[in-house]
A and B are shown apart, each in its own frame.
Chain A
Amino acid sequence: GENVEQHPSTLSVQEGDSAVIKCTYSDSASNYFPWYKQELGKGPQLIIDIRSNVGEKKDQRIAVTLNKTAKHFSLHITETQPEDSAVYFCAASYNTNAGKSTFGDGTTLTVKP
């Protein structure tokens, strides 16, 4: 089955700096790659996603890049703010598999004021 590895497990940055989280996946059939943000005591919430027919997607301070050949995708957060502090999860899935997603183990991002 699919295996998703996420790095780093913890990341600490100064407010205003950029943060990058990377994920690799194993199944070349995967074609949908969402990123979720989980705040303390809450469920994960989608922040951005990318499909395999696109190499990059941006939404204000957040961007995701996908390299299908290398089977890795990354989340980029620019101009970080304290409210960006949370746990971030990447995931991979393909639509012929009941939409089952395989999640990375998460990255705890701390933005220091």
Chain B
Amino acid sequence: NAGVTQTPKFRVLKTGQSMTLLCAQDMNHEYMYWYRQDPGMGLRLIHYSVGEGTTAKGEVPDGYNVSRLKKQNFLLGLESAAPSQTSVYFCASRLRGNQPQHFGDGTRLSIL
């Protein structure tokens, strides 16, 4: 099993460009999450999904959109990238509430 796979691993964008980050899990987990990690600030929840076809806003959703058309995939989109979105993005999944989260290895995104 691959677990949680994030694509791409690194990306550099110019301000105003758009891109999509892909997260795929092969554990048949119901819940999926997108976090951003900034120095000294831990993990902050951007958006999450409790099942195929459902999404909801987390703590810091502005500037991001998500979709979960298939149970195993959770996509994070940046419509118009801003330098403040420079961060490391982590995807996680869990079988259901109050079970351990499984994280991918992150996407390092720089916006110039």
Q: Which residues of A contact B (CB under 8 A)?
A: 6, 9, 31-32, 34, 36, 41-46, 49, 51, 89, 93-101, 103-106
Query: A46, B97: Cβ atoms under 8 Å?
Result: no
Is the pair A96, B105 in contact by a Cβ cutoff of 8 Å? no
Pick the interface stretch among B38-46, B67-75, B78-86: B38-46
State which of A6, A45, A98 has its C-beta within 8 Å of the C-beta of B48.
Answer: A98
Interface residues of B (CB under 8 A from A): 4, 31, 33, 40-45, 48, 50, 56, 58, 90, 92, 94, 96-106
Contact B43 A89 (CB under 8 A): yes
A46 in complex: contacting residue of B31, B58, B98, B101, CB < 8 Å: B101
Inter-chain contacts of B58 with A (CB < 8 A):
100
By the criterion CB–CB under 8 Å, are B99 and A105 in contact? no
Q: Is the CB of A104 within 8 A of B50?
A: no
Contact A99 B43 (CB under 8 A): no
Closest-CB distance, B107 to chain A (whole angstroms): 10
Q: Does the CB pair A105–B41 fall under 8 Å?
A: yes
The contact sample of 22 A-B pairs, CB cut-off 8 A, is A36-B101, A41-B106, A42-B106, A43-B103, A43-B106, A44-B43, A44-B90, A46-B101, A93-B98, A94-B98, A95-B96, A95-B97, A95-B98, A96-B97, A99-B50, A99-B97, A101-B45, A101-B101, A103-B42, A103-B43, A105-B41, A106-B42
Most buried by B among A6, A94, A97, A99: A99
Chain A residue at minimal CB-CB distance from B94: A99
A101 neighbours in B (Cβ, 8 Å)? 45, 101
B42 lies within 8 A of A104 (CB)? yes
- Give CA–CA (A106, B35) in the complex, Å: 15
With both chains docked as a complex, state the minimum distance between the C-beta of B102 and any C-beta of chain A, in angstroms: 8
